[in-house]
């Protein structure tokens, strides 16, 4: 089916066309708002359907890139418009297109001002996200990667909470500083390899000492995005101040950009440096897992708590990615997908009560189960999925990462498991304080349970979480071949290439002799 | 026949100069109310014709006036940019001139004379013709900076510009005379040969080159010779500031490139460090000093200093890729800068022009379209893809990396992040803040038109960058024969 039309370009640019369509809506403020909402919903749903075809037509047995499109773009620099997906990126495209309609629905009533502009920002954001996961040219990737900043900056800044200006600036400048360094790495690669084509660069084999610099420059960018400790501080601010749907996209998709970058660029293009820096990644990730879990335990603000839990979960992902064996990497990818859905859902859960009470403080809630049984059930499911209860999506990812990690480094695996234990503590603690107990607060006496729109938002998320937990193979199979090839190439490069540590010690030796 | 072939390369300049003088006559004899309108429209036409002649001249290298004057692909490309800058300025300034009581027909005339001067600068092939071009340009610019005779600020700007500009011209001339004294010629072609043969330059020549560089740095307002820029930008009438920020800047950069890459190419080792230093200083100052500004024209002055710093990266590299980067950068800079100034021109409250950044508060609600255009320009200036400004930066950094100037590139990207802060601040004020008093709604049609075109170019450059990039490549190649 998809061989007849450029599926990836359609999935990428259809939201943009929709955004232009919304731009032309005229009429009274109310009409504009209503039409903008419906257009955005339909456009994002159609995009989701287009991306479903990608999954259906995806050939899981093939490790290479599929649905490849290639056109001249800047021929004098040998930069092409090159799109394609493999097992690693396919589900991220789906995750982006899946979450966007949910975000549109979640903003249905919460956003009352500038609805048109809001929906345009979201659709442009979707274009950037999908394009980024599909791009097979480094410059193209970079354009999408940075382009995400523009709509996200506006979403946080215009529709955010009281400290939105600070949060938006911090988000923007932090991520920008990381990415410009990556730009220099891209240019350096370009002059080494004379191309920015990602598949070509993957097999190029940069010299070991160059790899170190390239890796560090890319690390600056990806580590901020992940975010890894200690550059995670923008995340709690951005999450707390962003509107609910902004947090959903931020946690659901944008955080995956960093880890995706490691998988797509750092490891295949700079395998020697990746091996050299693995202890650094392990250390930072373990600190992130344990430290941010402890920080989360002390939070009074629900969104902040979930934000810190995101940092901890992404720590598990990064150790998994750099453990570099089949289970761990596959686990890391599944963990990212799971976290994308679960943390998005948790933010939506916070959004539900925030829309009613306009407070994110844990202390202003309590005993919600008495008035909101459906809500409590949904919240519980996602809370348990976040903890990693068997049968939910969270379990599959964490389990696979730990299994893989155990073979590589027992100590790191043990410490990571400790972090998960702390995760149980803060999530249960949160749940107890918000949901259980006596309903004593006056403003909660009249609080209403989920309405139909909110059920429509949560139903697909619940389904996906359970599906991933019960039949993980439908997600693991398409990933399998691409990850296997990634790992094979990585170990091959390590076996044939002169290790970075050899080069470094040789350089140091030469320096000492001089 | 021989006479014709001698002057034909200068046909655009000659046409524009004669047209300007005719326009001056028309202006004098036309009735006072209509003079401005007639002269402006004809001036626009004259520039269009000049541009046409320039383009028709093609891309072959021709030398005229016994080696005083040269045209090649590079000069044609930069002349078109300069003419575009003048053209757009003329179009957007009419409405402002009428409102602010500066609708005298001398205004377009002076812009045209300055343009002739700039074209002369670009095509100069001799230190003498270089100086002639600079002076014709500068003298016209001094006058239009002070064009609002009745306001103190404008007069002050003109005077300041004149005093400092004259000083820099003096330094430049002194540098030229030193070079002449030690090299024995003022012709670019002979200078190129001399410096290529003996790579070791005598001390006198080096001092001359330093003075020459100083003078040119003054004209492009690179740090540490930037002091005049904020004051002049702030004080001059807004259309004049718009003009200053594009046409003379492009012309001066082009002249800078031609002198450094042409006759002084053999001395690259001597001047490269100077250019690197002023480039770093400009980028840093442009990024830091703009943060604290509250007047938007002043902010744009620092922003333009920063942009010159980025363009100078391309010159510091000194390669064909570097020149290519500069040309792409300046083309994009032209679009986004003119666009920004159309927005600034439209900032009025109760008929009065306002210039405070805080006056933009709530702009996003009251003027959604204009605010959107401004948003595009600001993100583009900050160098965020997918907007055009990113590609300008991409090409200069590309050149820097290619030549191994990693430190320069790293400083460049870091300052661009710092600089992003103040561009974001404008967006923040427009979109995140609530307005206290709204600005007037109506925008003059030509201004809106130019704004729309500039925004269009800035957004859609990504889809089809090839025309600009290719012609810039041809232009850059013209400076590196063989």
ipTM: 0.89
pLDDT of residue A510: 62
Inform me whether the pLDDT recorded for A2 exceeds 70: no
Burial grade of A257 (CB within 10 A; 0-12, 13-18, 19 or more): buried
Q: Do B401 and A165 touch (CB under 8 A)?
A: no
**pLDDT for residue A503 is more than 60:** no
pLDDT over 80 (residue B72): yes
pLDDT of residue B199: 64
Q: Do A172 and B386 touch (CB under 8 A)?
A: no
Q: What is the DSSP string of A210-272?
A: HHHHHHHHHHHHHHHHTTPTTS-THHHHHHHHS-HHHHHHIIIIIHHHHHHHIIIIIHHH-HH
pLDDT at A272 over 60: yes
- pLDDT greater than 70 at residue A299: yes
Q: Among A179, A186, A11, which residue's Cα sits nearest to residue A83?
A: A11
Would you say residue B301 has pLDDT above 90? yes
State how far the Cα of B382 lies from the Cα of B423, in Å rounded to an integer: 6
DSSP B439: P
- Nearest chain A CA: its distance from B419 CA (Å): 10
Q: Do B473 and A143 touch (CB under 8 A)?
A: no
What is the residue whose two structure tokens read 């702390």?
A422
Write the pLDDT tens digit of every residue in A46-101. Answer: 999 988 888 888 888 888 888 888 888 888 888 888 888 888 888 899 999 999 99
Higher pLDDT, A229 or A502: A229
Q: Which of A12, A187, A190 to mutate to test the interface with B (most CBs of B within 10 A)?
A: A187
Asked if B406's CB is within 8 angstroms of A147's CB, the reply is no
Q: pLDDT for B92-110, tens place per residue?
A: 988 888 888 777 888 999 9
Residues in Cβ contact with A100 at an 8 Å cutoff, skipping those fewer than 6 apart = A15, A44, A47, A48, A122, A123, A125, A126, A249
The residues, ordered by sequence, that sit 6+ positions from B23 with a Cβ below 8 Å of its Cβ are B39, B42, B43, B46, B105, B108, B109, B112
- Res B482 pLDDT > 80: no
User: CA geometry: angle at B21 spanning B17 and B26, to 5°?
Assistant: 145
Looking at residue B122, its pLDDT comes to 93
Strands A79-85 and B62-64 come out as unpaired
**Token representation of residue B353:** 């022009």
Give the A-side interface with B, CB within 8 Å.
73-77, 114, 117, 139, 142-144, 146-147, 149-150, 153-154, 157-158, 164-165, 168-169, 172-173, 176-177, 180-181, 183-184, 187-188, 190-191
Record: contact A180-B466, CB cut-off 8 A: no
d(CA A161, CA A165): 9
Task: Average the pLDDT over A325-352 and give the result.
Answer: 90
Q: Can you tell me the mean pLDDT for B406-419?
A: 90
pLDDT tens-digit profile of A301-320?
Answer: 888 888 898 898 898 899 99
Residues in chain A: 514
CA distances from A313 to A170, A280, A350, A422, A506 (A): 22, 18, 18, 11, 38
> Is the per-residue pLDDT at B289 higher than 70?
yes
Question: Which helix or strand (DSSP H or E) is residue A497 part of?
Answer: none
The yes-or-no verdict on residue A1 having pLDDT over 70 is no
Please identify among residues 303-332 of chain B the ones whose CB lies closer than 8 Å to any CB of chain A.
none
pLDDT, residue A511, reads: 56
Q: How far apart are the first and last CA of chain A?
A: 65
A59 three-state secondary structure:
coil
Enter the pTM of the model: 0.91
Tokens of B59: 């891309």
Question: Do B397 and A183 count as a contact with CB atoms less than 8 A apart?
Answer: yes
Domain boundaries, chain B: 2-477
Compute the distance between CA of residue A348 and CA of residue A371 in angstroms, rounded to an integer: 18
Distance from the B378 Cα atom to the nearest Cα atom in chain A, whole angstroms: 11
Higher pLDDT, B421 or B436: B421
Average pLDDT over residues A186-215: 86
Average pLDDT, chain B: 89
Backbone φ and ψ of B149, nearest 5°: -60, -30
- Which of A146, A158, A183 is facing B432, going by the closest CB pair? A158
SS (H, E, C) B130-159: HHHHHHHHHHHHHHHHCCCCCCHHHHHHHH
pLDDT at A500: 57
- Taking only Cα atoms into account, the Rg of chain A, rounded to an integer number of angstroms, comes to 22
Mean pLDDT of B62-79: 89
Q: What is the pLDDT of residues B106-145, one digit of tens each?
A: 899 999 999 999 999 999 999 999 999 999 999 999 999 9
Highest mean pLDDT among A501-510, B52-61, B110-119, B364-373: B110-119
Q: How far is A154 from chain B (nearest CA, A)?
A: 8
Residue A163 has pLDDT above 90, yes or no: no
B166 Cβ partners below 8 Å, 6+ apart? Answer: none
Q: What is the pLDDT of residue A482?
A: 87
3-state SS, residue B94:
helix
For residue A509, the model assigns a pLDDT of: 60
| Beta-bridge mates of residue A197 | A137
Share of chain B above pLDDT 90, in %: 48
Q: Token pair for residue A269?
A: 């293009």
Mean pLDDT of chain A: 86
CB atoms B421 and A154 under 8 Å: no
More confident call, B18 vs B37: B18
Q: Which chain A residues have a beta carbon less than 8 Å from that of B321?
A: none
8 Å CB contact between B220 and B252:
yes
Beta strand pairing status for A66-74 and B62-64?
A: unpaired
Q: Which two tokens stand for residue B28?
A: 């004098």
pLDDT tier at A117, thresholds 50, 70, 90: confident
- Band of the pLDDT at B356, cuts 50, 70, 90? confident
Retrieve residue B364's tokens.
């996003």
CA angle, B395 as apex, B393 and B401 as ends, to 5°?
A: 100
Q: Are B245 and B233 in contact (CB under 8 A)?
A: yes
Question: Between chains, do A76 and B365 touch, taking CB under 8 Å as contact?
Answer: no
| Percent of chain A scoring above 90 in pLDDT | 14
Residue A79: enclosing H or E segment and its boundaries? Answer: strand A79-85
pLDDT > 90? residue A364: no
Chain B residue whose CA is closest to A182: B413
Assigned token pair, B61: 């290298």
pLDDT for B252:
93
Residues in chain B within 8 Å Cβ distance of A77: 398
Determine the residue among B362, B411, B417 to mutate to test chain A binding: the one whose Cβ has the most chain A Cβ atoms within 10 Å: B417
Residue B120, pLDDT score: 93
- pLDDT at residue A374 above 90? no
Nearest CA in chain A to B422: A169
Query: For residue B450, which of B199, B144, B86, B140 has the smallest C-alpha distance?
Result: B86
């Amino acid at each position: 089916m998809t061989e007849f039309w450029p599926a990836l370009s359609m999935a990428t640019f259809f939201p943009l066309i929709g955004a232009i369509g919304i731009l032309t809506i005229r009429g009274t403020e109310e009409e504009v708002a209503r039409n903008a909402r419906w257009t955005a919903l339909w456009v994002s749903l159609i995009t989701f359907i287009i991306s479903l075809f990608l999954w259906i037509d995806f050939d899981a047995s093939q490790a290479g890139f599929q649905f490849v499109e290639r056109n001249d773009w800047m021929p004098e620099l040998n930069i092409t418009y090159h799109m394609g997906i493999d097992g690693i990126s396919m589900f991220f495209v789906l995750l982006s297109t899946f979450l966007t309609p949910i975000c549109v629905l979640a903003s249905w009533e919460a956003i009352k001002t500038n609805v048109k502009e809001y929906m345009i920002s979201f659709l442009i954001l979707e274009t950037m996200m999908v394009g980024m996961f599909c791009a097979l040219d480094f410059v193209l990737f970079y354009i999408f990667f940075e382009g995400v900043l523009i709509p996200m900056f506006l979403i946080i800044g215009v529709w955010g909470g009281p400290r939105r200006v600070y949060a938006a600036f911090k988000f923007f400048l932090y991520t920008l500083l990381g990415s410009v360094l990556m730009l220099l790495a891209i240019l350096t690669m370009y002059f080494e390899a004379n191309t920015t084509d990602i598949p070509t660069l993957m097999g190029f084999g940069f010299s070991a000492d160059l790899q170190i610099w390239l890796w560090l420059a890319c690390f600056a960018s990806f580590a901020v995005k992940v975010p890894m400790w200690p550059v995670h501080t923008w995340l709690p601010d951005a999450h707390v101040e962003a509107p609910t749907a902004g947090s959903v996209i931020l946690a659901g998709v944008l955080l995956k950009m960093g880890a995706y970058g490691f998988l797509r660029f750092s490891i295949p293009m700079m395998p020697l440096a990746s091996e050299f820096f693995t202890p650094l990644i392990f250390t930072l990730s373990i600190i992130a897992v344990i430290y941010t879990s402890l920080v989360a335990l002390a939070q009074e603000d629900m969104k902040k708590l979930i934000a810190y839990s995101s940092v901890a979960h992404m720590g598990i992902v990064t150790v998994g990615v750099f453990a570099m064996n089949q289970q761990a990497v596959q686990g890391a990818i599944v963990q990212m997908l799971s976290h994308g859905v679960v943390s998005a859902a948790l933010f939506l859960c916070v959004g539900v009560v925030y829309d009613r009470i306009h407070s994110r403080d844990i202390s202003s809630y309590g005993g919600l189960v008495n008035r909101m049984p459906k809500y409590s059930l949904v919240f519980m499911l996602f809370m348990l999925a976040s903890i990693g209860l068997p049968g939910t999506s969270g379990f599959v990812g964490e389990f696979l990462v730990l299994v893989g990690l155990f073979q590589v480094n027992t100590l790191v695996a043990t410490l990571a498991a400790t972090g998960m234990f702390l995760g149980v503590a803060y999530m249960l603690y949160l749940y107890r304080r918000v949901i259980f107990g006596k309903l004593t607060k006056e403003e909660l006496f009249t609080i209403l349970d989920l309405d139909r729109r909110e059920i429509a938002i949560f139903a697909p998320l619940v389904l996906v979480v359970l599906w991933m937990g019960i039949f993980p193979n439908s997600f693991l199979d398409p990933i399998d071949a691409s990850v296997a090839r990634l790992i094979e190439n990585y170990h091959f490069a390590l076996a044939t290439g002169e290790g970075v540590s050899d080069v470094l010690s040789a350089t140091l030796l030469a320096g000492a002799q001089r | 026949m021989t006479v014709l072939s001698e002057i034909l390369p200068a046909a655009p300049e000659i046409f524009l100069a004669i047209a300007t003088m005719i326009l001056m006559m028309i202006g004098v004899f036309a009735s006072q109310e209509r003079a401005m309108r007639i002269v402006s429209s004809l001036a626009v036409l004259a520039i269009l014709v000049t541009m046409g002649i320039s383009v028709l001249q093609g891309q072959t290298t021709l030398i005229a006036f016994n080696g005083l004057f040269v045209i090649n692909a590079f000069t044609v490309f930069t002349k078109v940019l300069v003419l575009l800058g003048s053209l757009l300025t003329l179009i957007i300034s009419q409405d402002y001139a009428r409102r602010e009581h500066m609708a005298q027909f001398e205004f377009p005339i002076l812009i045209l004379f300055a343009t002739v001067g700039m074209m002369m600068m670009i095509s100069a092939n001799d230190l003498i013709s270089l100086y002639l071009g600079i002076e014709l340009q500068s003298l016209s610019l001094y006058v239009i900076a002070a064009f609002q005779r009745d306001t103190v600020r404008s007069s002050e700007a003109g005077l300041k510009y004149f005093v400092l500009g004259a000083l820099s011209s003096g330094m430049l001339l002194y540098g030229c005379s030193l070079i002449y004294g030690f090299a024995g010629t003022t012709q670019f072609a002979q200078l190129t040969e001399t410096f290529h043969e003996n790579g070791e330059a005598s001390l006198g020549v080096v001092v001359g080159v330093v003075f020459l560089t100083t003078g040119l740095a003054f004209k492009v307002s690179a740090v540490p010779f930037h002091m005049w820029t904020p004051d002049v930008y702030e004080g001059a009438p807004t259309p004049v500031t718009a003009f200053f920020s594009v046409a003379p800047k492009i012309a001066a950069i082009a002249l800078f490139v031609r002198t450094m890459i042409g006759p002084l190419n053999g001395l690259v080792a001597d001047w490269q460090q100077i250019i690197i230093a002023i480039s770093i200083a400009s980028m840093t100052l442009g990024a830091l000093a703009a943060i604290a500004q509250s007047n938007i024209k002043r902010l744009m002055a620092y922003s333009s200093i920063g942009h010159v710093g980025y363009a100078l990266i391309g010159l510091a590299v000194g390669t064909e890729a570097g020149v290519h980067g500069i040309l792409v950068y300046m083309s994009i800079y032209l679009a986004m800068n003119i666009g920004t100034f159309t927005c600034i021109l439209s900032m009025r409250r109760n008929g009065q022009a306002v210039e405070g950044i805080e006056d933009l508060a709530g702009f996003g609600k009251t003027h959604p379209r204009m605010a959107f255009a401004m948003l595009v320009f600001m993100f583009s200036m900050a160098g965020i893809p997918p907007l055009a400004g990113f590609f300008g930066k991409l090409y200069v950094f590309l050149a820097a990396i290619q030549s191994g100037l990693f430190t320069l590139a790293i400083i460049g990207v870091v300052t661009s992040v710092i600089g992003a802060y103040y561009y974001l601040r404008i967006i923040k004020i427009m979109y995140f803040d609530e307005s206290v008093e709204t600005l007037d709604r109506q925008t003059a049609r030509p201004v809106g038109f130019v704004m729309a075109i500039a925004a269009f170019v800035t957004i859609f450059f990504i889809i089809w960058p090839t025309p600009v990039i290719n012609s810039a490549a041809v232009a850059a190649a013209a400076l590196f024969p063989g």
